[in-house]
Homo-oligomer: A and B are copies of this chain.
Amino acid sequence: MTARQDPARRRPGPRRALTEDEILDAALSLLDAGGVQAASIRGIAAQVGVAPNAVYTYFPDKAAVVRALVERLLGEVDHDVFADRGRPWRERVEALALDLRAHLSAHPGAVSLMIGGRMGGPHALALNERLLELLADAGLPPTDAARASYLLIVHVFGSIALEVADPHQVGPLPPETERIAARRQALASMPVERFPRSAAAAATMADFISTEQYLWGLRRLLDGLATWGDAASTR
């Protein structure tokens, strides 16, 4: 994804005016400011002060830019917060989940890009590796750890994807208090007679801090893994 040239033999022409990182900086700032559609090749080029097609000197196509950007964001996750083997494994999973969520929510526009691709770069794999180590520490045999890690990944990315799924807004997620107010307002348009339970559920959920629901789900999931692990060990 990175170094294309070995810094030896590069004879003619000007040195490159840009770095791949500068291009990704521009892409990310456009993504944050204007959402997915604002992060165009032409927009990036304009931002870094270059002709649109110059970007193709650094990346073969737009998909490569997106992959590199996703990789960079995943690389920002701090592994230390859940690498501490002294703490209970459930706490470590929660720390990882919260850290991932914090990083992804900071760039709502990037979430759909992550889900849209395969997330198979080195940083993605490194995170997966840590999660599998963690589940091995928890006592899960390798096959179960594999399944459990995938389940956890689905929860983390699925939760955040549904959370940021609001095409109206661009830019950073508004503070939680504003989002509660917006949800409450949306309730008014819900036909209560036809969908009484959904209306009641929406009214209840509107007040939840999103992080609360995220962690609640994660804990139910960990409960499921634990009971099943226990059942397996007594089999």
Is the C-beta of A148 less than 8 angstroms from some C-beta in chain B? yes
Q: How far is the CB of A45 from chain B (nearest CB, A)?
A: 21
Stretch at the interface among A50-58, A76-84, A128-136, A170-178: A128-136
Stretch at the interface among A2-10, A15-23, A111-119: A111-119
Q: How far is the CB of A227 from chain B (nearest CB, A)?
A: 5
Q: How far is the CB of A85 from chain B (nearest CB, A)?
A: 15
Copies of this chain, tallied across the complex: 2
Contact with B along A126-152 (1 / 0, CB 8 A): 101100110010000011011111110
Is the C-beta of A188 less than 8 angstroms from some C-beta in chain B? no
Q: A161-B115, A162-B157 are in contact. Are A129 and B195 (CB under 8 A)?
A: yes
Which of these, B150, B191, B197, contacts A213 with CB under 8 Å? B150
Chain B residues closer than 8 Å to A208, beta-carbon distance: 147
Chain B residues closer than 8 Å to A150, beta-carbon distance: 205, 213, 217
Which of these, B153, B158, B220, contacts A224 with CB under 8 Å? B220
Q: How far is the CB of A122 from chain B (nearest CB, A)?
A: 8
Query: Interface extent on A, as a size class?
Result: 35 or more
Instruction: Say yes or no: B197 contacts A132, CB within 8 Å.
Output: yes
Chain B residues closer than 8 Å to A204, beta-carbon distance: 142-143, 146
Chain B residues closer than 8 Å to A142, beta-carbon distance: 197, 200-201, 204
Contact with B along A189-202 (1 / 0, CB 8 A): 01100111110111
Q: How far is the CB of A202 from chain B (nearest CB, A)?
A: 8
Known: A142-B204, A157-B162. 13 other contacts (CB 8 A): A128-B197, A129-B198, A133-B197, A142-B197, A142-B200, A145-B201, A147-B208, A154-B158, A158-B158, A220-B224, A220-B225, A223-B227, A223-B228
The 4 closest A-B pairs by CB, nearest first: A158-B158, A224-B224, A220-B224, A146-B201
